[in-house]
């Protein structure tokens, strides 16, 4: 069982927006602004798309954005494109000085 809870799947049509939630606790997501999101295409290594809740690394499309409210973080992808179809994982720093991943969400475009 993953430490953070994500929906198993979400879907959207090209051009639409979707949001993936990541529910944690007051010991991880709710305690720190250290939530990151990773995109993983089949057979590939994951790639960082959002760090520290809402920071977008250089080279990542501005269609990706992140936010947090209480113990829940969210990743929003706007203007969906076919290449956005992938698995997405949230990850948070915890009070145990460890990292915890969510179970992952499969995005279908």
Partner 1 sequence: EVQLVESGGGLVKPGDSLRLPCVVSGLIFRDAWMSWVRQAPGGGLEWIGRINSKGGGGTADYAAPVKGRFIISRDDSQNTVILQMSSLKSEDTGIYYCTWMGTTTRIDSWGQGTLVTVSS
Q: Does 24 bind partner 1 (CB under 8 A)?
A: no
56 touches partner 1 (CB under 8 A): no
Q: Is 58 in the site for partner 1 (CB under 8 A)?
A: no
Distance (Å, whole) CA 86 – CA 83: 8
Judged by CB under 8 A, does residue 51 bind partner 1? yes
Check binding of 57 to partner 1 (CB under 8 A): yes
Q: Please answer whether residues 46 and 40 qualify as being in contact, where contact means their C-beta atoms are separated by less than 8 angstroms.
A: yes
Is 46 a residue that touches partner 1 (CB under 8 A)? Answer: yes
CB of 13 to partner 1, least distance (A): 26
Half-sphere exposure of 20 (CA within 13 A, CB side): 35
Least distance in Å: CB of 97 to partner 1?
A: 5
* Cβ proximity to partner 1, 34 vs 63, nearer residue: 34
Closest by Cα among 37, 31, 33 to 91:
37
Cα angle value 55/58/60 (rounded, 5°) = 80
Distance spanning both ends of the chain, measured CA to CA: 27
Would you tell me which residues interact with partner 1 (CB under 8 A)? 2, 32, 34, 36, 38, 40, 45-48, 51-52, 57, 89, 91, 93, 96-104
């Amino acid at each position: 069982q993953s430490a953070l809870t994500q929906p198993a799947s979400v879907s959207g049509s090209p051009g639409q927006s979707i949001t993936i939630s990541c529910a944690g606790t007051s010991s991880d997501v709710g305690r720190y602004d250290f939530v990151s999101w990773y995109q993983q295409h089949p057979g590939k290594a994951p790639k960082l798309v959002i760090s520290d809740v809402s920071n977008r690394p250089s080279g990542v499309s501005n269609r990706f954005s992140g936010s947090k409210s209480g113990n829940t973080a969210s990743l929003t992808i706007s203007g969906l494109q076919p290449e956005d179809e992938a698995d997405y994982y949230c990850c948070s720093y915890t009070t145990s000085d460890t990292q915890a991943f969510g179970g992952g969400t499969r995005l279908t475009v």
